[in-house]
Amino acid sequence: MTPSLLFLIGYRGAGKSTVGALLARQLSWEHVDADEILEARVGRSIRQIFVEEGEAGFRIREAALLEELCRREDCVISTGGGVVLGEANRQQLRRAGTVVWLSADAETVWQRMQADAATRERRPNLATGGLDEVRELLQVRESLYRDCADHVVDTAGRSPSEIVAAILELLKAD
């Protein structure tokens, strides 16, 4: 395990971007948001990429970027919620650094997603949309998140700074 690379994984609305930025500041590391880098490089929102290239096209770009990001050091990386779908991605995550799963129940995730208009604009629906989509996908993904996580932090009812404090505690014990 490379101690200088930390990945935040988890479903949308788990707080990966907000917590990642705060955590990186605490560690005096760089923070990288994988989806933001991808959008900046491609010059299109993820929603547009899904429309033009399909989910498959997006996943190819996501995997290539992950491979590149795994070579960074002293960095907190906030990943996209579906990065764990690829077996190769899961292996890369496990090999490259410490993986922290920010978990949340479907209702919490759905409430946070509704409150976040900017994310709604940029992110496509992945299945049926709504709370049903969250429930459906969480059911499929929870075992994948668990499969690559070194640590799990439940984010429901906790503020970003409380979540950061919990992660720092876990890292101390590593």
What is the enclosing helix (H) or strand (E) of 98? Answer: strand 98-103
User: Least CB distance from residue 56 to ligand S3P, whole Å?
Assistant: 12
130, two tokens: 């709504």
CA distances from 168 to 7, 89, 148 (A): 13, 25, 19
User: Least CB distance from residue 106 to ligand S3P, whole Å?
Assistant: 13
- Closer to ligand S3P at the Cβ: 35 or 77? 35
Residues that bind ligand S3P (CB under 6 A): 12, 16, 35, 46, 80-82, 119, 123-124, 126
- Closer to ligand S3P at the Cβ: 12 or 31? 12
Cβ atoms of 80 and 35 within 8 Å: the answer is yes
- Closer to ligand S3P at the Cβ: 1 or 156? 156
- List the one residue out of 102, 138, 141 whose CA is nearest residue 9: 102
User: Least CB distance from residue 130 to ligand S3P, whole Å?
Assistant: 14
